[in-house]
Amino acid sequence: MELENALQQLEALQKRMYAYAYAESAIYLDNLTVAPKDTSEGRGVAVGILSGEEHKFFTAPEVGQMLDCLDEHKDELSPMVRRQAEDLRRQYERTKKVPADEFMQYAMLTNQASDVWHRAKEASDFEMFRPVLEKLVAFSRKFAGYYDSEKDPYDVLLDQYEPGLTKEYLDKFFGKVREKLVPVIHAVGQAEQIDNSFLQKEYPVETQRRFSDYLMEVMGLDRGHCTIGDTKYNDHDLASSMYSVIHESGHALYELGVADELQYTNLTHMAMSIHESQSRFFENLIGRSLPFVQAIFPKTQEFFPEQLKGVTAEQFYRAVNRAEPSLIRTEADELTYCLHIMVRYEIEKQLIGGTLQVKDVPAEWNRLYKEYLGVDVPDDKRGCLQDSHWSGGSFGYFPSYALGSAYGAQMLRNMEKEIDVWGPVAKGDLSKVTAWLREKVHRHGSYLKPAEIVKNACGEFDPEVFTDYLTEKYSKLYDL
Amino acid sequence: MELENALQQLEALQKRMYAYAYAESAIYLDNLTVAPKDTSEGRGVAVGILSGEEHKFFTAPEVGQMLDCLDEHKDELSPMVRRQAEDLRRQYERTKKVPADEFMQYAMLTNQASDVWHRAKEASDFEMFRPVLEKLVAFSRKFAGYYDSEKDPYDVLLDQYEPGLTKEYLDKFFGKVREKLVPVIHAVGQAEQIDNSFLQKEYPVETQRRFSDYLMEVMGLDRGHCTIGDTKYNDHDLASSMYSVIHESGHALYELGVADELQYTNLTHMAMSIHESQSRFFENLIGRSLPFVQAIFPKTQEFFPEQLKGVTAEQFYRAVNRAEPSLIRTEADELTYCLHIMVRYEIEKQLIGGTLQVKDVPAEWNRLYKEYLGVDVPDDKRGCLQDSHWSGGSFGYFPSYALGSAYGAQMLRNMEKEIDVWGPVAKGDLSKVTAWLREKVHRHGSYLKPAEIVKNACGEFDPEVFTDYLTEKYSKLYDL
């Protein structure tokens, strides 16, 4: 094959993959938001067929020939094209090991599983979900074996979300987190608790919607390219939607900040830990900082004058940072959040490793929540059925949240050395922060590998920067 | 090719087409509802590629071979499979005449056009839309030539929406409509106007949303398979959303009523005129009837006690049937509606026939509105930019609305001969009506051709049944 031809094929293939991903995400978004509950069968058939098509054209021999040709001409390629080819090669070698019919079955299964999980969660009945989860675990173990039968299957799955990530690395990371943070959590538990009762007053959903628009404006989001769904308002909890909006805006800024030249290529698929570093950066490091809260508090009070009457910015700051062991990950505070992730990590590791049976997940979940967080799990709904990830077949994703948090803390420390972070933030101006992240992280997409981006933005990764940050923040908050 | 093999391929091809249609409609729905305004470029690339893929596999030589094989074994096929093959053949012969790259360009153009049309409409500036509309007209004329260069191009396009439909047929139909209805409209204009001011009081959107849910319940829709978007509430117009909901519910009942055995086949693509016959049946013939209004009025008054204080069911009935020449098709009353369609029909016919230039559309539009409806069009927004259809490349669709209305009137007359329509409707029970339609229309999908369904449900089609129905209804309402 001639190089020119191969380059054309490379571009066409990536565009084609983009189109399928676009279709799948439109279907997924519909499913997540407005699709009626009994429509999963028809959707499953469609998704299964589209996945099968994608698998078929991506694993066609011509793709291998094209990649071979690009490999032969490696030195003539621009760095950008070389990375595209390298990345596709990795995915190609992996994907072609999975038989097309299994790939389709799996796509149909995850679609169905989402529906089953929703119902099981509603009924708080793990047994409803168990058979499907068993199939999902079996598929994941099997696929991991296809991808690389020599490696530990959980390592293989981790590598999907962040190339190079391993159990060994995570065991060390979580070991450090546990060692450093558990004593802080314990001390916080003994200290006088922060009052956050005003956050639980009645906050009308319609006003929260308008408040969300305001927050997206503060975040500097281009609304011409960014909308907001309407699924997660609690009319007696202001912080929940507020920090969800800031979190998701962090993801959106990342996606929108990818360099234009990467559009329609596979280098727009960023590692999940880096993605979470951006969302959690804005949610916690910025969003739950005193300068940020001081900046937006007057406006917040305008939205909710009755509910926040007599409350000061400082009190609001303390309330949104109240820490306490709890049951629900998405509502967890910044301090205890990583322990929620550790529970999931331990369970996934054992499920994929084959040392834990699916039927024993609820008991193990409840045991670990007691051990790590000291809480009793009253039912599966608030226990092992709370997250959607496993129903989507995502085993190995959860650690990204914890890693992302830790990466973020180190990015902030570096950022503080290079620019004035808090002056502008205290005025509600996030543009400097975003510009720094765009330069170091966003624009690169996955042209840089996760480890390179971490190096770029964090320097040498050191989990203690993260644990120190939290220790210091919570020592002040709780006067430890 | 062996028959068994061909049958398998037939099933697989139809499922594949189903999956692509599913993806395209998810993308379309997203675009129509929540997609941010500056995202059309990326969507266009995706839609273009998916359309190109679809075109490619559908026009592959193997499809022709399969169809040939099915044709050879025609007598061995079940009637259902024979119809599938026949329908695919028709589509195949047509599609393969369009070069793949033109097909993709066209798909990308219609995506872009939707965006341009939105902006042009907002700015009320036809010149913004003109260049795109010119391209769309040129494509449609070209495609019509590809499909059948011997036939009149507008006839070719009409045939897409309703096989067998022609200009000649429509000229006769609209001629009759005009002859019979224009005098009635004139007489209504001279008569004392009905008071509908209470429909323009303030109707909070939130309550209208709940009222919509109630209406869908009355319509007997299975909410497990049917949701409702949130785009068209006017807080000073109750009738607008109310009758939109009933109209769209009519479409939904049709889609949901198609026999299960037709699922995942091409026989679920129903002719547009039959589709509109169902939506307009419920909107007007049932929804704007006195028994129906009497049935739902007490509940309606519960939703809006202040706004409807002192109003009687009879007054409400008269108000939702107020007729007057107006500018906007979707807000037109039952009597004048067809004249709005006639304007569009005349313009399309000329555009596709090549006797009208795109640049002259606004002037011709305004002239025809004056001639048919006696109104002056103040701007393009309320004129030729009001509808989305042309931006989607749909030339030949509009007549379906008028034909559907006429078909519906005749269905009702036949239904009245066979079952007690108004007894149950007066009690808010639409199940008998729906069951009759399901039997005669819905379940057949496009297994029966449009003309067969019309025959089935209407008998010999006679436009005068429709014009008589309207004449009688409006003579009573306005005491003519």
* Residues B63, B344: Cα–Cα separation, whole Å: 37
Q: Does A34 touch chain B (CB under 8 A)?
A: yes
- CA-nearest of A149, A407, A175, A381 to A273 is A407
ipTM of the modeled complex: 0.83
- Selected residue with higher pLDDT from A107 and A420: A420
Q: pLDDT tens-digit profile of A257-316? A: 999 999 999 999 899 999 999 999 999 999 999 999 999 999 999 999 999 999 999 999
Contact A224 B36 (CB under 8 A): yes
pLDDT at A50: 93
Could you report the per-residue pLDDT of A24-69, keeping only the tens digit for each?
Answer: 999 888 887 778 878 888 898 999 899 999 999 999 999 999 999 9
**CB-based contacts of A212: which residues, under 8 Å, 6+ apart?**
A228, A241, A242, A245
- Write the pLDDT tens digit of every residue in A153-168: 999 999 988 888 999 9
Name the class of domain A167-477: mainly alpha
Give pLDDT, residue B228.
82
Find the CB nearest A27 among B16, B26, B47: B26
Nearest-CB residue to A22 (from B15, B22, B46): B46
- Dist CA A403 CA A342 (whole Å): 11
CA distance B49 to chain A (A): 6
pLDDT at A224: 85
Q: What are phi and psi of A316, to 5 degrees?
A: -65, -45
- Partner residue opposite B34 with nearest CB, options A36, A49, A227: A227
- Selecting among A248, A276, A283, A348, the annotated active-site residue is A248
**What is the pLDDT at residue B231?**
62
The answer to whether residue A226 scores a pLDDT higher than 90 is no
Q: With an 8 Å Cβ cutoff, is B50 touching chain A?
A: yes
Closest CA to B347 of B126, B182, B180: B126
Which residues in chain B have their CB less than 8 angstroms from residue A33's CB? 34
Q: Which H or E run contains A462? A: none
Between A228 and A363, the higher pLDDT residue: A363
Of chain B residues 300-359, which have a CB less than 8 A from chain A?
none
Per the confidence metrics, is the pTM higher than 0.90? no
Sequence-separated (6 or more) residues with CB below 8 Å from residue B96: B58, B59, B64
**Residue numbers of B between 192 and 231 with CB closer than 8 Å to A:** 206, 222-227, 229
Q: How confident is the model at residue A356 (pLDDT cuts 50, 70, 90)?
A: very high
Neighbours of B115 (CB within 10 A): 20
pLDDT at A425: 98
| Distance from the A48 Cα atom to the nearest Cα atom in chain B, whole angstroms | 8
Q: Which CATH number fits domain B167-478: 3.10.620.30, 1.20.120.1080, 2.60.40.10, 1.10.1370.30?
A: 1.10.1370.30
Residues of chain B with pLDDT under 70: 230-231
Whether A15 sits inside 8 A of B264 (CB atoms) is no
Dihedral sign for Cα A248, A253, A258, A263, please: positive
The fraction of chain B above a pLDDT of 90, given in percent, is 87
Question: How big is the CA angle at A106 (ends A105 and A112), to the nearest 5 degrees?
Answer: 90
pLDDT of residue B161: 87
**Neighbour-count burial for B333-368, b at 16+ CB within 10 Å, e otherwise:** bbbbbbbbbbbbbbbbbbbbeeebebeebbebbbeb
Would you say residue A220 has pLDDT above 90? yes
Question: CA of B90: how far to CAs of B5, B86, B139, B182, B432, in Å?
Answer: 21, 6, 20, 39, 36
Contact A131, A373 (CB under 8 A): no
List B248, B276, B283, B346, catalytic entry: B248
Q: Label residue A168 exposed, middle or buried (CB < 10 Å: 0-12, 13-18, 19+).
A: exposed
Using alpha carbons only, give the angle B431, B258, B255 rounded to the nearest 5 degrees.
80
Q: Identify which of A15, A47, A263 has the shortest CB distance to residue B49.
A: A15
B187 close contact with A: CB closer than 8 A: no
Residue by residue, DSSP assigns B21-63 as HHHHHHHHHHHHTT--TT-HHHHHHHHHHHHHHHHHHHTSHHH
Single-letter amino acid code for the residue at A54: E
Nearest CA in chain B to A38: B224
Determine contact: B19 vs chain A, CB below 8 A. Answer: yes
Determine the pLDDT at residue A331.
87
Which residues between 252 and 281 in chain A have a beta carbon less than 8 angstroms from any beta carbon of chain B?
A: 263-264
Residue B168 is a catalytic residue:
no
Interface residue of B227, B255, B260 to substitute, partner A, most A CBs within 10 Å: B227
CB nearest B224 (choices: A20, A38, A50): A38
- What does the alpha-carbon distance between residue B33 and residue B206 come to, in Å, rounded to a whole number? 18
Summarize pLDDT for B332-350 with one digit per residue, the tens: 999 999 999 999 999 999 9
